Amino acid sequence: MQIKYIKLVGLALTLSLGGCGIFGDKVEESKNWSAEKLYAEAKDELASGSYERSVQLFEKLESRYPFGAYAQQAQLEIAYAYYKQGDQAQALAAIDRFIKLHPNHANVDYMYYLRGLVNFNDDMGFLSFIANQDITERDPKATRDSFDAFKELAIRFPESKYTPDAIARMKYLVNALAQYDLHVAKYYLRRNAYLAAANRAQSAIKEYPDAPASEEALVVLIKSYEAMGMTELRDDAKRVYLKNFPNSNLLETGGVKKSWWKFWG
């Protein structure tokens, strides 16, 4: 039994060393590659999902051929590879570096778009819906960063092919930010912190007046003023609520509006 175990360990070690040898051979082989060859191989690795390997090859390309279109493209592809790998910090660092080095590059608009996507997917990924996670209950920093990146793209490059999608995502993000404020306001309301609830509800209404969250935010505002005995302010909020949502029954039933981000059912 012990001899068999030793043989298995030896086999595993041999395979491991063999794998290292293959990897080492590839690294050694790349020393003689042209910029075009390095770029093609790195793109193949990227397309196959070998993001770490693609980054290594793009970095070799950039270091060996620092001048010219291939080096610039390598920097762009490195940012994308980190994004696909899910490495937010490295992706953002690569994006910022590219924008700083090449502010007038023909594809710099894509880097602004990618910056928005990195933050969007970090906190707003659609996979969260599958797990029934309410994304508005999480720290909104990435949401705000994503919105700012998309906004900068739309302002700087209104004719970019990425701008229409960025604007659509901005609308989504505005709704998410409004819903986040609403979530906090409802949290305070449940804990009888009526002044804090009213302030947060007002924030959602004033900053995001067209967001779906405004309806519930007004209900929270009315209930908060009612609890504090501020009847004049309560009546003012109620008038606004009835004018903007004449068919709403949230105030009467105390019901909860279906989450705007649930696209199915």
Termini Cα distance of the chain: 59
CA distances for 156 relative to 83, 151, 163, 203, angstroms: 22, 9, 10, 28
Is 15 a domain residue?
A: no
Angle, alpha carbons 65-71-77 (nearest 5°): 140
CATH of the domain at 46: 1.25.40.10
Half-sphere exposure of 79 (CA within 13 A, CB side): 24
The total number of structural domains that make up the chain: 1
- Residue 40 belongs to some domain of the structure: yes
pLDDT in tens, the chain (265 residues): 545 544 544 545 444 444 444 445 555 567 778 899 999 999 999 999 999 999 999 999 999 999 888 999 999 999 999 999 999 999 999 999 999 999 999 999 999 999 999 998 765 544 344 344 555 556 688 889 999 999 999 999 999 999 999 999 999 999 889 998 999 999 999 999 999 999 999 999 999 988 999 999 999 999 999 999 999 999 999 999 999 999 988 888 765 565 544 432 3
Residue 227 CB burial class (10 angstroms; 0-12, 13-18, ≥19): middle
- 77 within a domain of the structure (yes/no): yes
Query: Is 110 part of any domain?
Result: no
Give me the phi and psi of 259, to 5 degrees please.
-55, 130
The whole-number pLDDT of residue 200 equals 96
Long-range contacts of 156-159 (CB under 8 A, 24+ apart): 156/109, 156/112, 157/109, 157/112
Contact 155, 135 (CB under 8 A): no
Tokens encoding 243: 């004018």
What pLDDT is recorded for position 27? 54
Q: How many CB atoms lie within 10 A of CB 76?
A: 20
Residue 233 domain-assigned?
no
Contact (CB, 8 A) for 54 and 43? yes
For residue 54, tell me if it sits in a domain: yes
- Which domain, by its residues, includes 74? 33-103
Q: What confidence score (pLDDT) does residue 265 get?
A: 33
Q: Write down the pTM of the prediction.
A: 0.72
The widest CA-to-CA distance across the chain, in whole angstroms, is 88
The pLDDT of residue 33 is: 86
Residue 73 lies in a domain: yes
Write down the pLDDT at residue 258. Answer: 54
Q: Is residue 17 part of a domain?
A: no
Q: What radius of gyration, in Å, describes the C-alpha atoms of the chain?
A: 27
